[in-house]
Amino acid sequence: MASASFVKPNTLSSPWIGQRSFAHTSASPPRVSFAIRAGAYSDELVKTAKSVASPGRGILAIDESNATCGKRLASIGLDNTEDNRQAYRQLLLTTPGLGDYISGAILFEETLYQSTKDGKTFVDCLRDANIVPGIKVDKGLSPLPGSNDESWCQGLDGLASRSAEYYKQGARFAKWRTVVSVPCGPSALAVKEAAWGLARYAAISQENGLVPIVEPEILLDGDHPIERTLEVAEKVWSEVFFYLAQNNVMFEGILLKPSMVTPGAEHKNKASPETVAEFTLTMLKRRVPPAVPGIMFLSGGQSEAEATLNLNAMNQSPNPWHVSFSYARALQNSVLRTWQGKPEKIEASQKALLVRAKANSLAQLGKYSAEGENEDAKKGMFVKGYTY
């Protein structure tokens, strides 16, 4: 720890400004000192976060576990083998022109160490396309004892050493996904556990050179109105930022991956993109400091078109942060349907990926139009109780 007489809160050379102490006498004005946590990767973290949060670009999330990837492959009649997973991810990561619309790609551990059939690592494929490689680091959800049938996220044990290895392999940002269920309460215990786990993960990631994506997903499950989602989201993000600060996390070197504020998937009334934008931006402005470089929304089971329309509505006026996307199903669904596991359909599948990526790029710039969208893109992808 070092101390200084005064440091501006947004000074990048001194990451997150921690707790203050006040020492003064009656004969002198109050003197403010800050506990400053220095980090070897501070400048690099800021640079990485800004690169991912660059205009007109967002994140391609292909960090599904092997089991979940197997479900995707099964939907087109393919077995869940390493060769099939490699072939599908090669299709995605070698798409010509992908870097025009995608700034980062979240990988599963298996994918981080894989290569194309020609021997080029996927990490190098991404770097050559000006796409930052990222890595999923959590170890999945487990039942939370003492809660309302809720979950907690595992993976802190050994995270520092794993993160150091991921950095050596070329990863420059990380993702940790925990969930909050509105129908289950959520309980104060579950919210605190989610927030504390995210904060510890974020601090460990930054210590090892990885920009942490902070993702407390508020699940779409339920029949609650949008006002209830807003209430829960404000509570969750309040706790998250409280514990991020307690753990000395540098806000300029993180990215957020929130759920959009929508009604529960089973609610009788569907919200328009304008309403979703209004409620979501209200929540963010109340809870997220402007020091955070980027908000990279998850799609959470929305249809491809719906996720894009909602993002576009949020970018109709300037925001304090880069407001963009980190989509999995909302970018991949059309690709899988087109590919069907057939080599002769790879080019058409890559074009389908570019269509969705470009649509969301335009939405990030507030210039998207749904005119010409096909009906498949409008089909919802919500699955009750969905797990990665």
Catalytic residues: 215, 257
Q: What is the DSSP string of 227-251?
A: HHHHHHHHHHHHHHHHHHHHTT--G
Contacts of 352 (CB under 8 A, 6+ apart): 334, 335, 337, 338
| Structural contact between residues 130 and 167, judged by C-beta atoms closer than 8 angstroms | no
Tell me the two tokens of residue 313. 């509505």
Instruction: Give the Cβ contact number of residue 235 at 10 Å.
Output: 17
| SS3 of the chain: helix, strand, coil, percent, to 5 | 40, 20, 40
Q: What is the DSSP string of 178-223?
A: EEE-STT---HHHHHHHHHHHHHHHHHHHHTT-EEEEEEEE---S-
Quick one: DSSP state of residue 278? H
41 torsion bin: left (phi>0), alpha (psi -120 to 50), beta (else): alpha
| Structural contact between residues 300 and 220, judged by C-beta atoms closer than 8 angstroms | yes
Give the alpha-carbon dihedral of 382, 361, 180, 251, to 10 degrees: 170
Nearest CA-CA partner of 198 in 242, 239, 141, 240: 240
For 299-311, b/e burial (b = at least 16 CB within 10 A) is: bbbbbbbbbbbbb
Q: What is the largest CA-CA distance in the chain?
A: 82
| Structural contact between residues 90 and 116, judged by C-beta atoms closer than 8 angstroms | yes
| Structural contact between residues 276 and 242, judged by C-beta atoms closer than 8 angstroms | no
Q: Beta partners for 322? A: 294
